[in-house]
Amino acid sequence: MAENSLTDKLCNAAASGNLPDVLFWLQNGADVNGLNKYKRTALQVVMLGSTSVVEALLAAGARPDVRDPVLGLTVTHDAARGGFAHTVRALLQHGANVDLVDDRGNLPLHLAATAGHLDAVRLLIGRTAEPRMPDNQGRTAGQLARECEHLPGRMATANYIEEYLSSREYFSYWKIMFYQHNNSKLQ
């Protein structure tokens, strides 16, 4: 019972972005990966704009890839959807897996693109194993950004994704050609 109350207190401090209280509860035995009464960890309920709180939880051993029991979202999905690029960066620095999909087949990249959060897209796209992967409805991150291109940030996001993927195709083509050319001399 005491552990649950410590975990609840840690989660409440994280949810309000209160770094001193988060550090206090961690130092006083709260389990950084413990579940609160709503079955969430402190990292799952953290105020995502509070990067210092996110970093403190991660430094204390919080697992960044714990999934939400309702939609299968990770904290990286939540941060990407909300456009919290500094939080996304902190999660990436602590080994968050950007290739996990939620129950709807969305990568964090899909959610950042849908919301038009270009800074988050820039952080995620190069670390995503297959940035062209479609969601469960067959839509890619670029397509999701284009669907709402009339909304702020969407057009720039869609254009960035398209340019990034085009440059990767070009780079990959010339890399293959260079490799084949150099290896043909060796044979």
Please report the pLDDT score of residue 168 as a whole number: 77
Task: Enumerate residues 6+ apart whose C-beta is below 8 A from 80.
Answer: 88, 108, 109, 111, 112, 115, 117, 120, 124
**Where a domain ends, among 15, 42, 62?**
62
Question: What is the model's pTM?
Answer: 0.86
* 137 plus 182 within the same structural domain: yes
Q: Taking the chain (187 residues) in consecutive chunks of 10 residues, what is each chunk's mean pLDDT?
A: 77 98 98 95 95 98 96 98 98 98 98 97 97 96 88 89 85 50 45
Total domains in the fold of the chain: 2
Give the structural domain span for 19. 1-62
Write out pLDDT tens, residues 4-31.
589 999 999 999 999 999 999 999 999 9
Please report the pLDDT score of residue 97 as a whole number: 98
* 10 plus 55 within the same structural domain: yes
**Where a domain ends, among 40, 62, 84?**
62
